[in-house]
Structure 1
Amino acid sequence: MVFARHPRAWLVTAGALVFALLGTGAVFAGTQTGAEEPRAASALETATPTPTPTATVPPARPVPGAATAASRLRTCSVAGLAADARLANFQGQVMNATTGEVLFDRGGTTASATASVLKVVTSAAALSVLGPDFRATTTVVKGSEPGQVVLVGGGDLTLSRLPSGAEPFYTGAAHLDDLAAQARAAWDADPANAGVPMTSLVLDSSYFSGPEWDDGWARSELGLGYMPEITALQVDGDRDNPSRSTSPRSEDPVARAGQAFAEALGGGVTVSQGTAPPGAAQLGSVQSQPVSTLITQSLIVSDNTIAEMLARLTSIRSGAGNDFASLQQGVVDGLAPYGIDTTGIVIKDGSGLSPANAVSPAYMTALFVKINAREGNLGVIFDGLPVAGGPSGSLSYSDRFAGPNSVADGAVFAKTGWITTGYTLSGIIRAADGTPLTFAVYALGNVSDNAKQAIDTITAGFFRCGDNLSNN
């Protein structure tokens, strides 16, 4: 046998075979347990248990967020119109009123002088704080001395000295002769006044306080007939001519009102200024038109007097105060319910005549989205806006939306603005493609009257472009 003849060779071969089999087992063991790379076993070595490895958790793979919808490529540019030198330092913004997407922006987030566009802001605050049905009340009460009555101004700057039946500039305004008739009848009906004639009239204008003229207003506005001194007691916005929009104002509106009331009482009374005694018996009262009507009267022809009246009454009702300095808090607080960021807004007056007022075009476009949707009572503002090519108002004049710009007639509902340092326009456009747009355009700095035509031209451009308006 081969084994018998080569016993040593067989032993060597068998040993090698056993060693090979042991090594193979170690490889399989290592593979099954996940141990480190296996090494050769030794018959003399004590086996050491292989530690169980700690599982390594691979890092989470980044998950892509929701895909951002691609903005449509808009191709209708008004860049050339925006570069018109007549616009001077131009700012503007246009928004799709349905989607809220800003289609065009040039410095739109910078708060700047608004001119009379501020009347929209004042109106919005008044609707929030006062409500559309609020009316300002003028009263007559008994004075502290025998024969004395007190005329108490309640902030109605539209109260008219024209006789009842004669229509003043402020349609539907209360009349002094009505108030005088009430006071005389109540006086005569009171037994305590038997044999005591009415001999003294005191004028109480304490409902408003502080300066009567804002330091940012040019004093020439008084003589030109655009602004009265702001007092809680006055008649016809203190116009020389109660029937005209623009008419010179006086240096003492309280005295003018007092003289008119004394005449309505029948004369024979002395007139002085003071305050009503606390708890005095009321002899009569008349009320202004409601806020909703006053807003329309203010916006359509850009009446400064009513705007100042609304701002001051808003501030008083909100608890901010009754002077010019209180308007910042009073008006801004009144805007809070609309949920639009008011950061950067500066309110110096209610009319926009002060160049120190500041509201961004972006705020105006956002506010007009809500006006367009008639949120809350804001539809009152929409209904009072001038209309391009309309029958009346500040956009019906022959120099507005003329020539090629008349393409937008009937489609632009907006508030105009002008001060010596700027022209403005802000409102709503029913664009040619049916898209409702809100917009604000400011031409500020060294401007002249032809800035109005440049503003109309770019606004007509917005109308033509509609939702295809490009920001390039």
Structure 2
Amino acid sequence: MIGAVGSVSPVAAQDRGGLGSDLDGILADPGLAGADVGLVVRTVGGEIVYQRSSDRRQQPASNAKLVTSAAAMEVLGPDYRFTTTVASAARQKEDVLDGDLYLKGTGDPTVLAAGYDALAKQVADKGITFVRGKLVADDTWFDDTRLGLGWAWDDEPYYYNAQVSALTAAPDTDYDAGSIVVKVSPGANGAKATVTTVPPTGYVTLDSTATTGAPGSANTISVDRAHGSNTFTITGSIPAGGAATSEWMAVWEPTGYATALFRDALKAHGVRVAGPTTRGATPAGATTLATRDSMPLSQFLVPFLKLSNNLHAEILTKAMGRATAGQGSWTAGRNAISATLAGFGVQGRLSLVDGSGLSRMDQIAPDQLAALLAGATSRPWFPTWFSALPVAGKADRLVGGTLRNRMRGTAAEGAVHAKTGSLTGVSGLSGYVDTAAGERLVFSMVTNNTIGIDTKKVEDAVAIRLASAGSGAAVARAPQVAPGERQGANNRADLECSWVKAC
């Protein structure tokens, strides 16, 4: 590996109408004092427009998904699909399958309860009404390591930190694999609240003391799950006549969750399985009874990148490991990703221990992210990947994504395609900006160790200034942060939509 590149001090290699001094002014925000700020702006061809500490490695948060998604397009290809199958090595005698039934996954995060229902219908359509053996869950496509290295223990119950398995299920078309929605609805004033799950499943237990408060009272509903358990505890009060509260929560052991949905679907289609649910590998030569293919990766990129879905990144990482080394593990996946980096022009040392950026052990420099962004422009799949990035200020959730509420009504609206990133004390924005002068620039801004500032307002000011280059517009300045406005788990207003479903 070669040494670090870039400069520690601000550099305006080409003035572009005072752009360098304007960016210096934006980054002089006093709220950034003591923080580690890296910013690089360059042309697609490699000319440096602006640099500030951009060679320093940082925790990238979800900017890491740029690396994972580009590598997936390179390694797996735009036409890659996940396949889920139902198979058996047993003989069918009239309507009886005289042996075990295997449900095998390859990591598809887009399978809903309806998908397992469709697989069950295919089995029923074979004329099978009774399975004499067991229902066997085959999740051997990936390893058994469910959580990433360095992931925070206190995030473990929540959907954005769900467990990774080759056999999983999602509650809705955001495709949050390994999760359910716990829905709390008000009853009459003073009565218990009604608690249900999406999808309905007996795989989890609901332990609720939630009540219905007076109309207009505060909503204090809280949902939690203890480590190692699928018992969800629901507490607090919801106002009578108010809207239902929904919380997206990770299940414990998604293989069992998916298989439970499939068993229920078989029963609904008149197929009874005599034996218990177990885990194991599908025998070689087993006959396929049902199959389901996911959408291609080219389409899957949209919910993945627009909504910054962490589990999608981790599943793709393991899928790359399986494709290149026959091992569905983070280690094999990281090796597959690393092998693509030189081809994008990424140089120097970096460390990515997961695919999503959830880990605090991830380290990559803005210069390296910018090199990846520039290198990707030469790939035949670039237009698809570029379109899947969030677009500043576009209200449609599957267009604007995590940038849909940012930079509206500014020069950056529609002109910035970029990936966001958020952890407590960490923020990033890296992507492309089409300037008012008709030039496409690549930029990466990653900030670590912030306290008491909404860094996204600074990122927006940078992006707006870049977008207005050549227009003669006034310099965009970062709004000062109101006293007490802090970044982190206690105030999620600054976090992206992958962390807060309501945004």
Give the TM-score, by structure 2 length.
Answer: 0.69
Amino acid in the other structure paired with 1:350: G
| 2:435 is the alignment partner of 1:427 | no
Give CA deviations for 1:402-446 in whole Å, capped at 9, x if unaligned.
Answer: 68xx33212111110001230000000111222211100011113
Asked if the contact 2:403/2:420 (under 8 Å) is kept, the reply is: no
Which residue matches 1:153? Answer: 105
Of 349, 371, 379, the match for 1:366: 371
- Secondary structure of 1:387's aligned partner: coil
Instruction: Count the aligned residue pairs.
Output: 376
Q: Distance in 1 between matches of 2:37 and 2:253?
A: 39
- Secondary structure of 2:359's aligned partner: coil
Give CA deviations for 1:301-353 in whole Å, capped at 9, x if unaligned.
Answer: 11112111111111211217321222321211133443x13431322111111
- Secondary structure of 1:408's aligned partner: coil
Which residue matches 2:173? Answer: none
Of 89, 108, 116, the match for 1:176: 116
Q: Distance in 2 between matches of 1:131 and 1:401?
A: 33
- Secondary structure of 1:407's aligned partner: coil
Pair 286,314 (structure 1): closer, same or farther in 2 beyond 3 Å: same
Asked if the contact 2:346/2:372 (under 8 Å) is kept, the reply is: no
Q: Distance in 2 between matches of 1:304 and 1:377?
A: 22
Asked if the contact 2:106/2:141 (under 8 Å) is kept, the reply is: yes
Pair 342,293 (structure 1): closer, same or farther in 2 beyond 3 Å: farther
> Where in structure 2 are the equivalents of 1:13-412 lying within 5 Å?
74=16, 75-76=18-19, 77=21, 78-87=23-32, 88-97=35-44, 99-143=45-89, 146-161=98-113, 163=114, 175-186=115-126, 188=128, 197-236=131-170, 237-241=177-181, 247-266=248-267, 268-269=272-273, 270-319=276-325, 321-338=327-344, 340-371=345-376, 373=377, 375-391=379-395, 392=397, 393-398=400-405, 400-401=406-407, 406-412=410-416
Q: Distance in 1 between matches of 2:247 and 2:311?
A: 11
* Bigger-Rg structure (1/2): 1
Asked if the contact 1:186/1:284 (under 8 Å) is kept, the reply is: no
Give CA deviations for 1:205-235 in whole Å, capped at 9, x if unaligned.
Answer: 1111142111311133332321210010011
Pair 73,307 (structure 1): closer, same or farther in 2 beyond 3 Å: closer
Which residue matches 1:171? Answer: none
Pair 448,177 (structure 1): closer, same or farther in 2 beyond 3 Å: farther
Pair 218,120 (structure 1): closer, same or farther in 2 beyond 3 Å: same
Pair 328,424 (structure 1): closer, same or farther in 2 beyond 3 Å: same
Deviation at 1:185, TM superposition (A): 2.9
Pair 197,455 (structure 1): closer, same or farther in 2 beyond 3 Å: closer
Asked if the contact 1:431/1:465 (under 8 Å) is kept, the reply is: yes
Deviation at 1:374, TM superposition (A): 5.5
Give CA deviations for 1:241-269 in whole Å, capped at 9, x if unaligned.
Answer: 35899710111211111111001111642
* Higher strand proportion: 2
- Secondary structure of 2:157's aligned partner: helix
Deviation at 1:395, TM superposition (A): 4.3
- Secondary structure of 1:465's aligned partner: coil
Q: Percent identity?
A: 29
Which residue matches 2:482? Answer: none
- Secondary structure of 2:111's aligned partner: coil
Amino acid in the other structure paired with 1:446: T
Asked if the contact 2:313/2:355 (under 8 Å) is kept, the reply is: yes
Q: Distance in 2 between matches of 1:247 and 1:129?
A: 31
Amino acid in the other structure paired with 1:110: R
Greater CA drift, 126-135 or 278-287:
278-287
- Secondary structure of 2:428's aligned partner: strand
Amino acid in the other structure paired with 1:82: L
Task: Give 5+ residue unaligned stretches, structure 1.
Answer: 1-70, 164-174, 189-194
Pair 308,466 (structure 1): closer, same or farther in 2 beyond 3 Å: farther
Deviation at 1:376, TM superposition (A): 2.0
- Secondary structure of 1:386's aligned partner: coil
Pair 298,246 (structure 1): closer, same or farther in 2 beyond 3 Å: farther
Deviation at 1:106, TM superposition (A): 1.2
- Secondary structure of 2:161's aligned partner: coil
Asked if the contact 1:240/1:248 (under 8 Å) is kept, the reply is: yes
Asked if the contact 1:388/1:401 (under 8 Å) is kept, the reply is: yes
Pair 257,295 (structure 1): closer, same or farther in 2 beyond 3 Å: same
Pair 419,447 (structure 1): closer, same or farther in 2 beyond 3 Å: same
Task: Give 5+ residue unaligned stretches, structure 2.
Answer: 1-12, 92-97, 171-176, 182-197, 200-244, 473-503
Which residue matches 2:475? Answer: none
Asked if the contact 1:389/1:395 (under 8 Å) is kept, the reply is: no
Q: Distance in 1 between matches of 2:165 and 2:359?
A: 18
Q: Distance in 1 between matches of 2:48 and 2:449?
A: 25
Q: Distance in 1 between matches of 2:470 and 2:403?
A: 23
Aligned-pair Cα RMSD in Å:
2.7
Amino acid in the other structure paired with 1:286: R
Pair 397,275 (structure 1): closer, same or farther in 2 beyond 3 Å: same
Which residue matches 1:25? Answer: none
Amino acid in the other structure paired with 1:155: G
Amino acid in the other structure paired with 2:264: E
